[in-house]
Amino acid sequence: MPFIVGGDPDFKTSLSVAKELCSGADLLEIGFPYSDPLADGPTIQAADMRALASGATTTSVFRLIKNIRKFSQTPITVLVYANLVLQRGLDKFYRDASISGIDAVLIPDVPLEEIGDFAKAAAKHNIHQIFLITQMTDNARLKKILKHAHGFLYLVSVLGTTGARKNFSSDTPKFIKRVRKQTGLPLCVGFGVSTPKQFGQMVKAGADGVIVGSAIVDVIAENLGRKDMSIKLKRFAAGFKR
């Protein structure tokens, strides 16, 4: 599951990048650019700033996804911070998400205890509400989350924010296996996976999907303005296959 920030570095390029990635992805995750993305590291923060500088808005990301739906039916999950949802209005945000062709919504700064109204709006508009599971999530809390979870679970592979890592703790495979014992929902692992080797390690540990975000956004950042950006991105993404 590749991740991009909607509108990074501009609408046209973002649409082109999405088209290349959809050709080989099982799912696509798109982030709504936000000025204070607390779950994200420097790479995605910079992508948010590029997108916002180019004029990206919540409305333009919905329009981007509508355009993606003209050439791809790859399932799309979006990552969006609560303020953007509340600013638009809960029901309107999820209705617009459904109309745009979004399949699932992840809101990283809304805890389980406050997700009720978001989850109701998601269910009303046939959207999967996605939950983050961290290594600090014990089994008792996991069971509570599973009462509300749909689509898949997003497993955070490391403690901290997003960003490419060179190595992962031996606790990460154990974490994946622990959650697998508790649910039959697909498990997608993200935060830090940046190489095909790491991808393989997560799959071997039992992950059904792997989110590759900062590493892909780095390729975009390193090739800004280059006509062959899409080609380089496609080659890079092609390495992350079972």
- Residues with catalytic annotation? 29, 40
Half-sphere exposure of 235 (CA within 13 A, CB side): 6
Rounded CA gap, 29 and 211, in Å? 8
Which residues touch 59 (CB under 8 Å, ≥6 apart)? none
